[in-house]
């Protein structure tokens, strides 16, 4: 008998092993990480195309600024269509010449300076678009995970409310409690199912919004471990905003305004036009050289008003740069505080507070089922647990949002972008 039992057990063991070996293995798709999402967004977003187009436009403007004025071909005929001996073309004198404008005062180099400053501004604008895209994708990614966390909480609450309704119904049926307990449990179950439907819609919307940024639908799981991590709080370090993108745009605008002042000053100097040609005398059929020099007289428009306008624009850009520096420093300090506060709230809500709320709810369920606690105590414990879980998710979402904003505010200027030095022109 023992041998038969042993053989049967061995056969059953072998069968189970064979079944395990032949059973198909469920394929779990790898999670879509934040780095993957950022790479997809960079490839799909039109913001990169917009930034690249702006840079190409600035490069073309730089080439235009370096061009010299075109020469002019001049043809002039005198002593024609007159009276007497000058009737018709019998006494015509035709002059064919070439006029060459010569720029004075450094206008060409001033134009190039303006174009260089605008080129740096275009490259900074492209970098800002990329940084803004990274911020937007990170926020959408964190919101999608937060929506799924809230969905998990809603599903848990539905299960708890359903079980609470069952227990309340059983106790009412045996006369251990008032029917009002069953009604409260039914209300709690209905509210839990309604919250579940809202959470399901929020997940669909969040994933759809993330998919719009990535250029494709998001069906794979997300990196929940990344969302659950809240970094430690270190000492707050003062960040100098001068080297960040938050201030680079204002500094580039100031450099452009300074270059415009230099160009306005150069344009006050009149240009010289030199011409040379040949004149054919119809009467003798001789040819003579014709040379000339022309220069405009700055009688009405001296260029002073344009220079005053450029200087006023430069002063405005200087004030806006100082204002941008103050705003950037304030925003960075606020973002650092938000990161620290959210990290503290996440660790508190997801640590001892959550554990205590879970234990209190567990004890309340057991005690209510045994008739030791009333339903109000149970509902209060369940509500506290749900609020704690929601606070934990909200704190994690706020933490990742604050980290993303801080990263955007402290984003350094790319090393390949050189902002022209601003020159104080007040004394010139």
Alpha helices in 216-270 (DSSP H): 224-228, 245-266
pLDDT at position 88: 63
Residue 45 forms part of a structural domain: yes
Is residue 13 in a domain?
no
Question: Does the residue 19 lie in any domain?
Answer: no
Report the SS3 class of residue 291. strand
Distances, alpha carbon 322 to alpha carbons 122, 166, 219, 254, in Å: 21, 66, 47, 10
Residue 285 domain-assigned (yes or no): no
pLDDT at 25: 47
Please check whether residue 319 is in contact with residue 250, taking contact to mean a CB–CB distance below 8 angstroms. Answer: no
The confidence score (pLDDT) of residue 385 equals 79
Tell me, yes or no, whether 2 lies in a domain. no
Q: Confirm whether 12 is domain-assigned.
A: no
DSSP-assigned letter for residue 271: P
Question: Is residue 215, in this structure, part of any structural domain at all?
Answer: yes
Q: 42 lies in which domain range?
A: 30-70+107-265+299-410
**Residue 313: burial class (beta carbons within 10 Å; 0-12, 13-18, 19+):** middle
In whole angstroms, give the CA distance from residue 177 to residue 169: 9
What pTM did the predictor assign?
Answer: 0.79
Confidence (pLDDT) at 2: 38
| Distance (Å, whole) CA 364 – CA 380 | 9
CATH number at residue 179: 1.20.1600.10
Question: Is 383 part of any domain?
Answer: yes
**The two structure tokens encoding residue 212:** 């719009």
Q: Which of 358, 395, 355, 390 is nearest to 227 (CA)?
A: 395
Task: Write the pLDDT tens digit of every residue in 101-116.
Answer: 999 999 999 999 999 9
Local structure of residue 243 (DSSP, 8 states):
G
Measure Cα distances from 397 to 106, 227, 294, 421, 425 in Å.
56, 8, 71, 41, 48
Write out residues in the chain with pLDDT < 70, as ranges: 1-28, 81-91, 171, 176-177, 231-238, 283, 368, 373-376, 378, 422-428
Rounded-to-integer distance, Cα 223 and Cα 394, Å: 17
d(CA 290, CA 284): 17
Q: Could you please report the per-residue DSSP string of 341-386? A: HHHHHHHHHHTHHHHHHHHHHHHHHHHHHTTSS-HHHHHHHHHHHH
Number of domains in the chain: 1
């Amino acid at each position: 008998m023992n041998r038969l039992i042993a053989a049967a057990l061995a056969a059953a063991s072998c069968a189970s092993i064979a079944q395990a070996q032949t059973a198909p293995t469920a394929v779990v798709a790898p999670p879509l990480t934040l780095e993957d999402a950022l790479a997809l967004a960079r490839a799909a977003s039109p913001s990169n195309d917009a930034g690249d187009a702006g840079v190409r436009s600035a490069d073309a403007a730089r080439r235009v600024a370096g061009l010299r004025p075109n020469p002019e071909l001049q043809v002039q005929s005198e002593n024609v269509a007159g009276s007497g001996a000058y009737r018709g073309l019998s006494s015509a004198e035709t002059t064919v010449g070439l006029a060459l404008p010569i720029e004075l005062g450094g206008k060409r180099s001033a134009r190039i300076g303006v174009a260089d400053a605008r080129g740096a501004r275009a490259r900074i604008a492209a970098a800002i678009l990329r940084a803004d895209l990274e911020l937007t994708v990170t926020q959408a990614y964190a919101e999608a995970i937060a929506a799924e966390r809230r969905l998990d909480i809603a599903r848990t609450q539905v299960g708890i409310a359903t079980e609470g309704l069952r227990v309340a119904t059983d106790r009412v049926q045996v006369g251990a409690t008032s029917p009002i307990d069953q009604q409260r449990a039914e209300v709690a179950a209905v509210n839990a199912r309604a919250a579940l439907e809202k959470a399901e819609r929020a997940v669909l919307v969040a994933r759809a919004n993330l998919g719009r940024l990535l250029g494709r639908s998001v069906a794979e799981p997300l990196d929940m471990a990344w969302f659950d991590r809240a970094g430690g709080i270190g000492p707050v370090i003062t960040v100098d905003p001068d080297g960040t993108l938050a201030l680079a745009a204002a500094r580039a605008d100031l450099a452009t305004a300074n270059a415009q002042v230099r160009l306005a000053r150069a344009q006050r100097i009149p240009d010289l036009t030199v011409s040379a040609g040949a004149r054919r005398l119809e009467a003798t059929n001789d040819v003579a050289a014709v040379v000339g020099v022309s220069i405009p007289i700055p009688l009405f428009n001296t260029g002073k008003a344009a220079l005053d306008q450029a200087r006023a624009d430069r002063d405005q850009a200087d004030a806006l740069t100082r204002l941008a520096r103050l705003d950037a420093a304030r925003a960075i300090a606020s973002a650092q505080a938000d990161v620290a506060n959210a990290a503290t709230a996440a660790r508190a809500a997801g640590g001892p507070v959550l554990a205590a709320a879970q234990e209190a709810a567990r004890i309340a369920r057991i005690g209510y089922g045994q008739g030791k606690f009333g339903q109000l105590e149970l509902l209060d414990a369940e509500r506290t647990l749900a609020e704690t879980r929601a606070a934990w998710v909200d704190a994690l979402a706020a933490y990742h949002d604050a980290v993303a904003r801080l990263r955007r505010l402290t984003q350094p200027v790319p090393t390949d972008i050189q902002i022209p030095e601003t020159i104080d022109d007040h004394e010139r």
